[in-house]
Structure 1
Amino acid sequence: MRKHFYPQEVEKIQLTRRHSYRESLGSLGGFPRDLVVLTSDLGLSMVWNKLWSRAPGMGCVFCKKLEPGAKEDGGLEGDFRNYGAADRYGPDPTQSRPASSFSHIPNYNSFSPQPASPAFLDAGTIRGISGIGVTMFIALYDYEARTEDDLTFTKGEKFHILNNTEGDWWEARSLSSGHTGYIPSNYVAPVDSIQAEEWYFGKIGRKDAERQLLSPGNSRGAFLIRESETTKGAYSLSIRDWDQTRGDHVKHYKIRKLDTGGYYITTRAQFDTVQELVQHYLEVNDGLCHLLTAACTTMKPQTLGLAKDAWEISRSSITLEHRLGTGCFGDVWLGTWNGSTKVAVKTLKPGTMSPKAFLAEAQIMKLLRHDKLVQLYAVVSEEPIYIVTEFMCHGSLLEFLKGPEGHVLKLPHLVDMAAQVAEGMAYMERMNYIHRDLRAANILVGERLVCKIADFGLARLIEDDEYNPQQGTKFPIKWTAPEAALFCRFTIKSDVWSFGILITELITKGRVPYPGMNNREVLEQVEHGYHMPCPPGCPASLYEVMEQTWRLDPEERPTFEYLQSFLEDYFTSTEPQYQPGDDT
């Protein structure tokens, strides 16, 4: 149960096009001092402040210096909602599932119905589990033990689950070796379940299915099956195809469910299980665009954390191997944890932020889990602070765009990268979390041009006079919405503004926004409605959406959900998204 306490009226300022931002500030009266959200399920207390102050000629200075006794600003726009979305490879949608909650993962040892989704996971996140009362699981991937408490295992190895009530790492006994230890829960699935099939990709979207099937290693006839985005209890079959007109592309077919429990693509060919349907189309195309040839290749997923209870780690467990980059507040290193696991390590200069405030924010950040967010693995909470995350092989999007690989990227690749960022931000939008520093430098690129959002929420914690829009040189003015720069009013809508600037970085291959203008000129111009002109090579329809993200009234800017949909479908042809089965 959540309880909300509003000490004063939640908002007394209206920013509209009829009033300039400075006029609005002048009319500012009382405002909420603290917004406390108590979530008993999580055992967390999160406090927000709305701190405002005036500066000559600028309307508002950035609120980094706290008043005596004031509490620190929070990173969430609101509280986490209990969406309880299924895992990426979530439970079989044909099974009935109780409403999700913030409780732990289902306890398969107790045989009592419990929620089937780990807390805070969203669609497209991890390969998961299903089945109440199931204790026999099979490995989906190879895994090399990282600690003496882990089990090393190979794909196909079977386990008896002894305890899965303590988070993302389960205690299990290997049936082949007899050894007992911890295993990552997203590396296994119930034996003989659809989740254990190589071709089952669970709850991923149509666009993500296309990305994966068109990636290297797949040929014509490669396929996957996923949960239907539109029909509960149904599935979709996605197949890689080729023709002279379109070249390599992907076609999608709906797998419908019969009232009697069977499945079909065409009414003349019906099957008791999805597995039987797949086997049929492996032998004959029977109206499909191509015979099914092989399951889509997939990359081994990141584990959920480095190991069991590996959150606040010792500095000695990290080996810094070589520096990947240097920023205003610290360095980024390629490192190794515990001599076994490659990681990225952000080292912060002492005094950059309060260790106590950072640790509190990190406790929230680690709950954000999505394929398009860089996973926070662990922290060293004493100064100098270490932030340990998954390693992304191509580094920042900004440097990637400037390099030789980025130079050859065409518009479809650039739009797809923007769509991936929008997907990650749409997740943060649903979770009511604000990034505050969204730009190409804070997007990381991995294998297969996968883009993930990094450094979300950290900007709020920086304690540096230079990180100030009025005087400082370190503050990213050119990416910041005017209400955020002038009034410190950061919301998901100010992130939308920043996303529009990020698109210009993509189109121009890393050019600094507002070329020829300094920060003060930018701040003055955008306050009066100035927009960057359409970049060379940018289609008018894409620029129109960029202009929508730069509307002065934050409420008139589009949502990230809309931006994701627009960008994912930007190059979609007029043919149907789903192919009809033959003779249906």
Structure 2
Amino acid sequence: MYPNPNTYPRVILKGTLFKKSQQKRRTSPCNYKERYFILNTEDLTYSERRPGKKPIQKGCIELCRIKCVEIVRSDVPIPCEYKYPFQVVYDSYYLYMFAPDNDCRLKWVRALKEETKHNKLFSTYHPDFWGDGRWRCCGHMEKLAPGCSEYYPTGTASKKPLPPTPDPQRRYSCSEQKVVVAIKNFKPVEKTDIPLHKDEEYIVIDTSEPNWWTVQDKDGNVGMVPCLYITEKFSNDIEKYEWYNKDITRAEAEELLMKESKEGAFMVRDSRQAGAYTVSVFTKAPGSNGEKNPRVKHYKVRQTENEDGKFYLAEKYLFSTIPELINYHQYNAAGLITRLRHCVCQDRGNSPRIEEIVSEKWEVDPDELSLGKELGCGQFGVVLEGFWNGKKVAVKTVREDAMSEEEFKEEAKIMTKLSHPKLVKLYGMCMQRSPMCLIFEFLENGCLTDFLRSKKGSFKPEDLLGMCLDVSEAMDYLESSNFIHRDLAARNCLVSEKLEVKVSDFGMTRPVLDDLYVCSTGSKFAMKWSSPEVINHTKFSSKSDVWSFGVLMWEIYSEGRLPYEYRSNAEVIESLNAGQRLLQPRLCPETVYQLMQWCWKEKPEDRPSFALLLHQLASLADF
């Protein structure tokens, strides 16, 4: 009796590809092996072909075990003949395969996806390589950390989505093509969105939406992306930028900036030396006597002496073009006396970087707002109970001497960009009355510190873990949106009637381009919640927020105790330098304390991301 040929696996694809060794040690070029791959309806096999001899099978992956198949994007050199990588993820293993061209790669990816589309697949994946102990795409140092980009189980990421339906009322960008670069990966939320891949370029199609632009990627896909995740690609032609002042003297620059008299007002001008430039910036930063000292500081734009010729104002912050340098320092003081906040131009008038907030959506009529009792007092003013549109609200007022109108607008602008269920919601702002104020949702149980102390002894383990989980959700959102909080602590979290914890107090929150914010001199921060790099160098990042989150978790499991309760700031610094950390609270399980200790690693790069912390806490909650 002859066997039935229909019972044999059907061959779908076969061909020669390269594969990367899955050994745990660091791979070298010799670990890229040429193999003959065969994909059939049951498995993916690969063999070593030997001239004049029978091939030796080196591996076999059952298709039912595959969880993800996707293209790998990478900016590192690929040390093998084939340069088009893709990945097959099965069980807890990553098989990297390399095709000779993009068409061949897409053919294999589509075929594998088609054969595995009914498997239990990942919802996210890592679009770059794992190497040197971390994921290159997101920096996670756990190989099994959840992916950072959305996985498309059918088709490939290069499949073109339909563009959004044009609105005849929209303002389209000018005929001059504007190019932007992704500063962070982004996975689509709506059907009209397209993914962003860090460091890749996109052409801007439409800028009429204030927070979402329509762009086109290198494959021709058109869709919307958040403006927070992209930055303009700069040329070195500085004359087109509004901050550049040609043929202006040092004395004239000082006169203009002193007249403007706004913290961070700046301009770029020609230096006395031909072909050189100077950045002049106005500051009111306190002098050596501690008093405000309005003055103009001048920084020469310098270049490194190597062949790259990178530009810089402060050591270690190097840029390929002067516009990139200026853009960076608009977000980050990084060695300067202050950030470059408001560009001043002799001919074109002044152009503040913080746009005026005139939207009716946010401006509140002062006659509609009534103020009640004081709820608390902060660094910039008091928080009052209020009533607006028939509901109770919290009103954050700002003392006139604590914050300028420009700084107030900057904080307000930040708040309008941020929206998450675990962040205290902004309803609006009022700039037509004195003092200026922000109107927030009212949370019945008030400050987390006070709530923990008032209910001490009544919390269940799941209550405390749930509070940590709430805060980690908010911080994961901030981290993914390229914001750092800089003042995370239990006192800056509020508790709702349903015992939900929400992160508040965005007075110190800042958008960042490279996950690093270096404060100008005279900045204040809470020492007992601060990481070593903040204490020693005032360098803030999402990883310094992670340190503070570890302290916040300690506060929660200590039911509101003050960290380092009986120690001075100097004693805290001394103990941290000696490697000592806060002790495990009585109510804290060992698994949670291990997370705290992970948050308190000496080196920022050794600490977890909020995405990973959220994943770990959620796993504990499920368990």
Answer yes or no: same fold by TM over 0.5: no
Q: Which has the higher contact order (CA 8 A, sep 6+)?
A: 1
Q: TM (normalized to structure 1)?
A: 0.45
Q: TM (normalized to structure 2)?
A: 0.42
* Higher Rg of the two aligned structures: 2
Larger % of strand: which? 2
